[in-house]
């Protein structure tokens, strides 16, 4: 019966025993697509696949599903494409089967034998059902497993069909429709495979499946608990991955899948494994540092040795992978020679071509795996090194001495982390390139020697000359880089200083000058940038020309030595050269990275070796004399300057403070009060004597330091929340009302440096921070200077007297009214404690103290004589005024926006947008187009050169002389094209760099203050440092090289497709898969790169903030907490970096495996196609291109990844290049007269102001007129809107409604520069800039030295400046920290005196000055500005007592405007209340009007 069935099927009972086309036996019968055995085998497999597909479909429809009522339908492209392609394929099979039946019936009148058409029908139905089953949505878990198994089986089956059909086509040299369909079934099966593994994620499974329900919470944002679960346990899958998963990067798939499904956010990025975290890296660094110091006790430890000893094992392992990669890569030319010999008929054994194909495939796969592990592991080492250095730099800046801060500015320290540590972290990635390129060259030369014999010497000499010839370029590049880094530091220092003090620059109308200073420094920097880019261009030409020069020299040597040239040895040689040309071309990059890493390491080492604070470890002795004291100082000299020749800041200090004592420190400006506190804190580097402190310290600085974050975070300062204590602290610091008025209460985000708080609010937040710490010793540096009289009194009574009862307090204050309450008072003068006694004793015995106490009373004595009231009446009046004026602000609902927002970043695929943004600068499109055009010419020229050799090497009619001459001429032309291409790339880089910086700088300097209020400085600094550095040095070359390498890759594929046409069936799906893989990769990689940018900004912001508050951090002993936070930020940045480059390696490995398949298929196809021995040259040429395909593809994709990372810098810079700007600096059509304002009349009508469009009004319809030449005082309680009114006058904030008219000119109709330059101001925050004293007073150089000395005399600064070495040219450090805060305010007064504008504004100008100096300054202002309009904002009542008119502001409303005398006698007057509070405070402390 079986024989009868076989006859029906095959029409030949003895088929299995006979030989023939359709009847063959054994294994060859299965491979023969025409044999009955083959047909039977295929039908059996079809039946099996049909059953599997039917089971999947039946199982799917047999389960009842719950469908979501409004679920959106999403149809992925992959299943649709698979269904269409395989559906068409199945229809083609069925149509062909039906056509075969029709032909048989027409010709033979029978359908027998069955095998031909039955096979086609089975094939058709099988592919149709497979297409349906694999394309199903919402499969449950068993179905998914079945689909995946089915797709793998189908893939193997289709591979068998494809190979057997191709083999038959090659042997018979015929192609049928069935063979084409069989070949097309292979890409169809690849689509099946993609659908099964990519299209069916677990989220697509059945809703009622238990497994799906268990997995669902991990999918993201569907449940509230997801984030918490994911965050707490979200450690990178790499930490627990097995060997195979690590080798194949399979562990990365969940992250990539998530990135494809949604836009990745910070919370989606897993944390690093323990070994890669900053804490572990820093611990390892400290261990190695200790060992290094022990090994070399005399010399300084070598940072390079520490890095090597910490990571040598990982580098050795990666080096082993690099060795495997080099060896496997070098086998390529040997395979090429063997294939060419097979084509020439020199087979060693029968199936050599198949064995060579398998060997080539294995070698290429091994090469890929080893190279990926090499790069991945070195990247991991790079992250560890970068994290270690970043942590070490942060820890160092916490201990940095004041002398070292003068040589290492804030901007420089930030650049050490954002630029230098990053560059050193890049070096391990390139390290093995140094020796692996050399080894690769040696192996290549050995292969070359086997091909061209002694001519190898010529090749070796040429390569050596190429490397030696690059030495002068390398040396000069090193010098250029050193000079560039110095120039970059200067520019960063200047721009950081300008941006940090932008408010002051705008008030003084100096922003144009400071912008020109930065531009001048940038010009110097750009000189070195253009030099480096030019040298890189020459380097590129030099090394890209070497693969052209070396073959030319070698072939001519062969010609001269009589060494025969043929297709085998020529293309073996060219393949060797072509394989090593990419590593050789990388030599400039390796040199560049080496130079950058060396320069950066030197800079970091210099910083890490900078002097530290020597007196930080304050001793806590237990001997009797010192243990009885909280603070004990006995010192002859205390100085900020370590040089013995310099004048000490403090002299002969003997101080002993007992526990619980309250000591006040008073004295004139510059007498050394703040230095005394700094000495207690251990901040002063030179102490000739002893300083001992026993107990926990809390410190409140004179210039408030506020962290970016919420008010609650600032107050808690790392301590645990105790709600009861917290509420008590808020009450005692008078913060309750302020918090009620803020939109989010104590959770309101404070801008950098507390920009959205008033001066008084900042000080009270500082006081609350200190009080909450419950310390033993409180050091308070003039904390009441920025608050009004009532608040100051309340703070003193509730805070200093009650809350700090039993605590040791050392208070520096100019508020003499509080002095009677202290146990002892230290009177300081010229750096000495000249008196130390109680208030009454000093008042009786010290004339200097008596003058200091009474100085503030003289100005209001006459005014107070006009007030008559009894004690009881005063109390009643006070109560009434408080009820009327001190209106409690209504809390604003939390519907508003926080000031500091999360850093902005692009999301999703931005396509070519950032590249277009880069190229539109300075003829970028033109230069880029020309560069690419010449690269295309170069590629085509190289093809012509190779084709010339391939076509005529076997042609005896073409002489060797002619052959080599044409080859050499083409090579020379190619070198010229490379030179021209590099020229245009350099022009592109220079032009874009110059234009981008210019646009960015203009945008930043023209940005309104609202931008700086809501943008942390670190975000801007990270852009003008690391991001700009990438644009300057990398972007242009990366862009051109990436496009060039990609063109090389596709050109190689094109050559293979032309010379081995059957391979096109593999290349086309391979190209399609490449595009799919890249899309899959970029969906996650783009977001990872962007998050990497924002996390790097967070590191920079935190570092910048910590540098500014280092003294406060050290005082509270909170260095460890800040260091831990810094390490967490470093880890967040390192994690995104880690997963970014892991994704790069994943993509490249996938593509390399595809390339290996294409190359092996090409080699086999070209070997099996009988082209004849004469075509061996073309085959050699094709394989030469094919062997380098892997290298080109890796190079292309690697640079695409690098470019994608770099182009994020363009996106980030673009965000700040188009900031909505302020009003124009100058409006030519409406410029004020040169002498405007000539009278100084200020008219304010219905002025309404809000900070942001969505924010509530800050000023509510203020209207008043300030007559020209009058003296106006503006008073009000803290946060009432006084400073906002001044900001509006200078148009730092534009009026929402109403207008301000000065001398009949609406200030909103003229340019900002014209307005601000014609007004004078002494701002609330005194600011000095790095440079000379003269520069700080007159940066525009408009005045003579004599004029400046006169002004210094009037400001009581002449003596202090003359005492400095250099006089007017004496150095002022950045932020003016080598001058006291009071002296800085006097400098600001000096600037106003030099400008002599008709209108002068004093915004709390004398808050940090003692009363005696304040009195002198007020007299100076009255004298010097007698005919000017002077607008004074002050909390000190004596400061405004001599004003003609007083403006009273409460909660943004004008509540009164009249003469001071009338307001004081007016019942319910805000000003009268403030005067009474001030007088009451003084009277309570033992002073009466009669004393005044």
208-237: per-residue pLDDT in tens?
333 333 333 333 333 333 333 333 457 888
- In this structure, of 152-156, 443-447, 1342-1346, 1403-1407, the range with the lowest mean pLDDT score is 1403-1407
Rounded to an integer, the average pLDDT of 1240-1244 is: 89
pLDDT over 60 at 1007, yes or no: yes
pLDDT over 60 at 75, yes or no: no
pLDDT over 60 at 805, yes or no: yes
pLDDT over 60 at 1245, yes or no: yes
CB-CB contact of 1023 with 495 (8 Å): no
Q: Name, in order, each residue with C-beta under 8 angstroms of 863's C-beta and a sequence gap of 6 or more.
A: 1441, 1460, 1461, 1464, 1475
Dist. CA 1031–CA 1042, nearest whole Å: 15
Specify which of 389-403, 624-638, 1418-1432 reaches the highest per-range mean pLDDT. 389-403
Q: In terms of Cα–Cα distance, which of 650, 658, 714 is closest to 677?
A: 650
816: left (phi over 0), alpha (psi -120 to 50) or beta: alpha
**Six token digits for residue 668:** 């004139």
- The residue with greater pLDDT, 1231 or 1442, is 1231
- The number of residues making up the chain comes to 1492
Rounded to an integer, the average pLDDT of 154-177 is: 73
Specify the pLDDT at position 393: 92
Which of the 8 DSSP states describes residue 219? G
Q: Over the range 556-572, which residues count as b (16 or more CB within 10 Å of their CB) and which as e?
A: bbbeeeebebbbbbbbb
Specify the pLDDT at position 64: 41
CB-CB contact of 178 with 120 (8 Å): yes
Q: CA-CA distances (angstroms) from residue 1098 to 271, 1000, 1138?
A: 16, 21, 17
Q: Give how far the C-alpha of residue 714 lies from the chain's centroid of Cα atoms, to the nearest Å.
A: 25
CB-CB contact of 759 with 704 (8 Å): yes
Dist. CA 1202–CA 1183, nearest whole Å: 29
pLDDT over 80 at 576, yes or no: no
**Six token digits for residue 849:** 């103290």
Cβ atoms < 10 Å from Cβ of 454: 11
Rounded to an integer, the average pLDDT of 1480-1484 is: 57
pLDDT over 80 at 664, yes or no: yes
Rounded to an integer, the average pLDDT of 1362-1374 is: 79
CB-CB contact of 1000 with 1021 (8 Å): no
Q: In terms of Cα–Cα distance, which of 971, 1426, 1025 is closest to 1216?
A: 1025
Dist. CA 100–CA 84, nearest whole Å: 24
Q: CA-CA distances (angstroms) from residue 334 to 56, 664, 855?
A: 49, 88, 97
Rounded to an integer, the average pLDDT of 1449-1458 is: 87
Cβ atoms < 10 Å from Cβ of 1075: 10
Specify the pLDDT at position 408: 82
Q: Name, in order, each residue with C-beta under 8 angstroms of 976's C-beta and a sequence gap of 6 or more.
A: none
- In this structure, of 485-489, 638-642, 658-662, 877-881, the range with the lowest mean pLDDT score is 877-881
Let me know the angle formed at the C-alpha of 1008 by 1400 and 513, rounded to the nearest 5 degrees: 65
Specify the pLDDT at position 228: 33
Specify the pLDDT at position 1076: 84
Cβ atoms < 10 Å from Cβ of 84: 13
Cβ atoms < 10 Å from Cβ of 818: 24
- Name the pairing type of β-strands 650-657 and 631-639: antiparallel
77-107 vs 115-134: helix axis angle to the nearest 10?
Answer: 160
With bands split at pLDDT 50, 70 and 90, how would you rate the model's confidence at 761?
confident
Dist. CA 134–CA 190, nearest whole Å: 12
Specify which of 122-126, 722-726, 843-847, 848-852 reaches the highest per-range mean pLDDT. 722-726
Q: In terms of Cα–Cα distance, which of 780, 773, 811 is closest to 696?
A: 773
- The residue with greater pLDDT, 724 or 156, is 724
Let me know the angle formed at the C-alpha of 514 by 512 and 520, rounded to the nearest 5 degrees: 105
Let me know the angle formed at the C-alpha of 719 by 713 and 723, rounded to the nearest 5 degrees: 80
Rounded to an integer, the average pLDDT of 1461-1473 is: 83
Specify the pLDDT at position 15: 46
Let me know the angle formed at the C-alpha of 1482 by 1478 and 1484, rounded to the nearest 5 degrees: 115
Burial bucket for residue 1467 (CB in 10 Å: 0-12, 13-18, 19+): exposed
Q: Over the range 366-402, which residues count as b (16 or more CB within 10 Å of their CB) and which as e?
A: bbbbbbbbbbbbbbbbbbbbbbbbbbbbbbbbbebbb
Cβ atoms < 10 Å from Cβ of 700: 25
With bands split at pLDDT 50, 70 and 90, how would you rate the model's confidence at 1488?
very low
Percent share of the chain, pLDDT over 90 = 3
**Six token digits for residue 265:** 């956010």
Rounded to an integer, the average pLDDT of 919-934 is: 89
H helix runs in 455-510, sequence order: 455-469, 471-500, 502-508
Average pLDDT score, the chain? 77
H helix runs in 331-351, sequence order: 332-343
Q: CA-CA distances (angstroms) from residue 614 to 353, 642, 780, 1112?
A: 76, 11, 23, 17
Q: Name, in order, each residue with C-beta under 8 angstroms of 429's C-beta and a sequence gap of 6 or more.
A: 375, 378, 379, 382
Specify the pLDDT at position 11: 61
Q: Over the range 156-195, which residues count as b (16 or more CB within 10 Å of their CB) and which as e?
A: ebbebbbbbbbebbbeeeeeeebbebbbbbbbbbbbbbbb
Dist. CA 545–CA 976, nearest whole Å: 9
Rounded to an integer, the average pLDDT of 947-952 is: 77
With bands split at pLDDT 50, 70 and 90, how would you rate the model's confidence at 627?
low
Burial bucket for residue 840 (CB in 10 Å: 0-12, 13-18, 19+): exposed
Note every long-range contact of 1356-1360, with CB atoms under 8 Å and residues 24 or more positions apart, other chains counting: 1356/669, 1356/1386, 1356/1413, 1356/1416, 1356/1417, 1357/1383, 1357/1386, 1357/1387, 1357/1390, 1360/670
Bridge partners (DSSP) of residue 70 are none
Cβ atoms < 10 Å from Cβ of 621: 13
The count of C-alpha atoms lying within 13 angstroms of the C-alpha of 765, restricted to the half-sphere facing its C-beta, is: 32
pLDDT over 60 at 65, yes or no: no
Specify the pLDDT at position 380: 92
Query: What is the torsion angle, in degrees rounded to the nearest 10, for the CA atoms of residue 638, residue 640, residue 641 and residue 647?
Result: -50
Rounded to an integer, the average pLDDT of 608-634 is: 65
Percent share of the chain, pLDDT over 70 = 81
- The residue with greater pLDDT, 956 or 1350, is 1350
pLDDT over 80 at 111, yes or no: no
């Amino acid at each position: 019966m079986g024989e009868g069935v076989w006859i029906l099927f095959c029409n030949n009972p003895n088929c299995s025993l006979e030989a023939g086309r359709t009847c063959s036996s054994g294994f060859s019968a299965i491979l023969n697509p025409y044999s009955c055995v083959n047909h039977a085998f295929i039908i059996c497999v079809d039946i099996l696949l049909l059953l599997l597909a039917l089971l999947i479909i039946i199982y799917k429809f047999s389960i009842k599903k719950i469908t979501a009522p409004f679920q959106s339908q999403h149809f992925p492209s992959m299943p649709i494409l698979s269904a269409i392609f395989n559906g068409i394929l199945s229809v083609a099979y069925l149509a062909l089967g039906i056509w075969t039946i029709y032909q048989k019936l027409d010709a033979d009148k029978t359908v027998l034998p069955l095998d031909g058409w039955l096979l086609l029908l089975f094939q058709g139905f099988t592919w149709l059902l497979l297409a349906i089953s694999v394309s199903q949505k919402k499969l449950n878990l068993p179905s998914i497993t079945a689909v995946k198994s089915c797709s793998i089986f189908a893939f193997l089956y289709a591979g068998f069909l494809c190979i057997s059909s191709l083999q038959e086509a090659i042997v018979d040299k015929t192609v049928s429709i069935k063979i084409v369909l069989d070949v097309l079934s292979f890409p169809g099966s690849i689509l099946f495979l993609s659908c099964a593994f990519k299209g069916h994620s677990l989220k697509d499974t059945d809703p009622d499946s238990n497994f799906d329900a268990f997995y669902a919470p991990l999918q993201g944002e569907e449940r509230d608990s997801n984030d918490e679960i994911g965050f707490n346990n979200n450690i990178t899958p790499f930490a627990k991955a097995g060997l195979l998963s690590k080798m194949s990067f399979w562990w990365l798939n969940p992250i990539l899948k998530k990135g494809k499904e949604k836009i990745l956010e910070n919370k989606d990025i897993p944390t690093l494994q323990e070994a890669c975290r900053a804490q572990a890296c820093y611990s390892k660094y400290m261990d190695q540092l200790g060992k290094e110091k022990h090994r070399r006790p005399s010399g300084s430890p070598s940072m390079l040795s520490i890095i090597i000893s910490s990571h040598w094992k990982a580098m050795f392992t990666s080096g082993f992978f690099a060795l495997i990669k080099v060896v496997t890569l070098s086998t390529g030319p040997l395979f090429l020679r063997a294939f060419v010999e097979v084509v020439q008929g020199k087979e060693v054994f029968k199936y050599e071509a198949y064995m060579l194909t398998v060997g080539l495939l294995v070698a290429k796969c091994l090469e890929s795996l080893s190279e990926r592990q090499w790069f991945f592991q070195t990247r991991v080492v790079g992250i560890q090194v970068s994290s270690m250095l970043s942590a070490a730099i942060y820890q160092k800046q916490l201990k940095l001495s004041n002398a070292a801060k003068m040589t290492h500015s804030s901007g420089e320290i930030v650049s050490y982390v954002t630029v230098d540590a990053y560059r050193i972290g890049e070096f391990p990635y390139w390290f093995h390139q140094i020796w692996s390129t050399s080894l690769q060259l040696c192996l290549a030369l050995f292969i070359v020697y086997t091909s061209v014999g002694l001519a190898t010497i010529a090749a070796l000499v040429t390569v050596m000359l190429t490397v030696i010839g690059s030495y002068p370029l390398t040396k000069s590049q090193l010098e250029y880089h050193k000079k560039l880094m110095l120039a970059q530091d200067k520019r960063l220092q200047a721009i950081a200083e300008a941006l940090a003090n932008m408010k002051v620059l705008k008030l003084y109308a100096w922003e144009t000058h400071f912008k020109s200073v930065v531009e001048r420094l940038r010009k110097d920097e750009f000189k070195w940038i253009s030099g480096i880019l030019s040298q890189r261009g020459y380097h590129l030409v030099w090394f890209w020309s070497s693969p052209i020069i070396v073959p030319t020299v070698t072939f001519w040597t062969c010609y001269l030595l009589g060494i025969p040239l043929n297709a085998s040895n020529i293309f073996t040689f060219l393949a060797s050269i072509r394989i090593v040309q990419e590593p050789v071309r990388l030599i400039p990059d390796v040199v560049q990275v080496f130079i950058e890493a060396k320069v950066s390491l030197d800079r970091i080492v210099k910083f890490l070796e900078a002097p530290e604070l020597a007196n930080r470890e304050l001793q806590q002795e237990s001997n009797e004399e010192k243990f009885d004291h909280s603070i004990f100082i006995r010192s002859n000299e205390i100085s900020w300057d370590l040089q013995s020749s310099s004048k000490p800041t403090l002299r002969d200090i003997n101080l002993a403070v007992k526990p619980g004592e309250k000591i006040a420190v008073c004295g004139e400006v510059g007498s050394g009060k703040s230095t005394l506190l700094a000495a207690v804190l251990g901040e002063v580097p030179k102490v000739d004597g002893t300083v001992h402190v026993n107990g926990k310290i809390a410190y409140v600085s004179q210039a408030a330091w506020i962290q970016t974050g919420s008010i609650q975070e600032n107050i808690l300062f790392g301590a645990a929340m105790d709600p009861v204590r917290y509420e008590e602290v808020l009450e005692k610091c008078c913060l309750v009302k302020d918090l009620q008025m803020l939109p989010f209460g104590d959770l309101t985000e404070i801008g950098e440096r507390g920009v959205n708080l008033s001066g008084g609010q900042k000080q009270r937040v500082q006081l609350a921070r200190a009080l909450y710490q419950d310390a033993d010793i409180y050091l308070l540096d003039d904390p009441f200077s920025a608050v009004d009289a009532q608040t100051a009194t309340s703070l003193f009574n509730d805070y200093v007297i009650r809350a700090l009862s039993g605590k040791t307090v050392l208070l520096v204050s100019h508020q003499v009214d509080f002095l009677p309450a202290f146990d002892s008072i230290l009177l300081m003068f010229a750096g000495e404690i000249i008196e130390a006694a109680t208030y009454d004793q000093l008042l009786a015995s010290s004339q200097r103290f008596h003058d200091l106490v009474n100085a503030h009373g003289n100005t209001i004595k006459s005014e107070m004589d006009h007030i008559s009231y009894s004690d009881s009446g005063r109390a009643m009046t006070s109560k009434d005024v408080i009820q009327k004026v001190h209106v409690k602000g209504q809390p604003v609902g939390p519907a508003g926006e926080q000031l500091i927002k999360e850093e902005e970043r692009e999301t999703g695929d931005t396509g070519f947008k950032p590249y277009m943004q880069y190229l539109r600068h300075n003829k970028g499109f033109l230069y880029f187009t020309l560069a690419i055009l010449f690269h295309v010419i170069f590629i085509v020229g190289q093809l012509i050169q190779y084709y010339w050799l391939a076509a005529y090497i076997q042609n005896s009619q073409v002489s060797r002389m002619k052959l080599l001459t044409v080859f050499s001429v083409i090579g020379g032309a190619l070198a010229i094209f490379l030179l021209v291409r590099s020229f245009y790339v350099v022009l592109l880089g220079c032009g874009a760099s110059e234009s981008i910086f210019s646009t960015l700088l203009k945008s930043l300097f023209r940005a309104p203050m609202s931008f700086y209020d809501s943008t942390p400085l670190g975000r801007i600094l990270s852009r003008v440092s690391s991001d700009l550095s990438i644009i300057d040095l990398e972007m242009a070359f990366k862009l051109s090289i990436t496009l060039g390498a990609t063109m090389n890759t596709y050109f190689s594929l094109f050559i293979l497709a032309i010379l081995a046409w059957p391979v096109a069936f593999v290349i086309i799906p391979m190209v399609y898969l490449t595009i799919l893989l890249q899309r899959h990769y970029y969906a996650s990689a783009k977001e990872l790169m962007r998050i990497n940018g924002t996390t790097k900004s967070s590191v920079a912001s935190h570092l910048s903030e910590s540098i500014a508050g280092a003294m406060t951090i050290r005082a509270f002993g909170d260095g460890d907490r800040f260091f831990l936070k810094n390490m967490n930020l470093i880890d967040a940045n390192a994690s995104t970096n880690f997963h970014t480059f892991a994704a790069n390696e994943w993509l490249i490995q996938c593509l390399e495996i595809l390339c290996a398949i294409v190359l092996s298929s090409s080699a086999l196809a070209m070997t099996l196609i009988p082209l004849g021995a004469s075509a061996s040259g073309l085959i050699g040429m094709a394989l030469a291109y094919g062997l380098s395909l892997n290298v080109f593809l890796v190079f292309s994709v690697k640079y695409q990844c690098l470019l994608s990372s770099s182009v994020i810098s363009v996106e980030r810079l673009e965000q700040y290049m188009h900031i909505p700007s302020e009003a124009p600096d100058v409006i030519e059509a409406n410029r004020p007269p040169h002498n405007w304002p000539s009278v100084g009349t200020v008219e304010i009508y219905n002025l309404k102001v809000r900070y942001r469009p969505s924010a509530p009004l800050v000023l509510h319809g203020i209207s008043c007129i300030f007559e020209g030449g009058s003296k106006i005082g503006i008073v009000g309680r803290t946060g009432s809107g006084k400073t906002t009114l001044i900001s509006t006058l200078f148009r730092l904030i534009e009026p929402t409604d109403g207008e301000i008219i000065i001398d009949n000119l609406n200030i909103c109709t003229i340019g900002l520069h014209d307005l601000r330059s014609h007004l004078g101001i002494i701002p609330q925050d005194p600011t000095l800039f790095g440079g000379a004293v003269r520069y700080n007073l007159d940066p525009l150089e408009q005045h003579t030295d004599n004029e400046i000395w006169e002004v210094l005399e009037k400001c009581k600064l002449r003596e202090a400046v003359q005492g400095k070495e250099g006089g007017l040219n004496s150095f002022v450090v950045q932020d003016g920290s080598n001058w006291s805060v009071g002296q800085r305010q006097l400098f600001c007064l000096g600037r106003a005196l030099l400008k002599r504008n008709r209108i002068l504004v004093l915004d709390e100008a004398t808050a940090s000055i003692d009363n005696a100096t304040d009195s002198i300054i007020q007299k100076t202002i009255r004298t010097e500005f007698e005919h000017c309009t002077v607008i004074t904002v002050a909390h000190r009542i004596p400061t405004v007592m001599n004003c003609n008119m007083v403006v009273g502001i409460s909660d943004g409303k004008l509540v009164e405007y009249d003469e001071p005398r009338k307001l004081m006698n007016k019942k319910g007057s805000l000003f009268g209340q403030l005067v009474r509070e001030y007088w009451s405070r003084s009277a309570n402390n033992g002073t009466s009007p009669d004393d005044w």
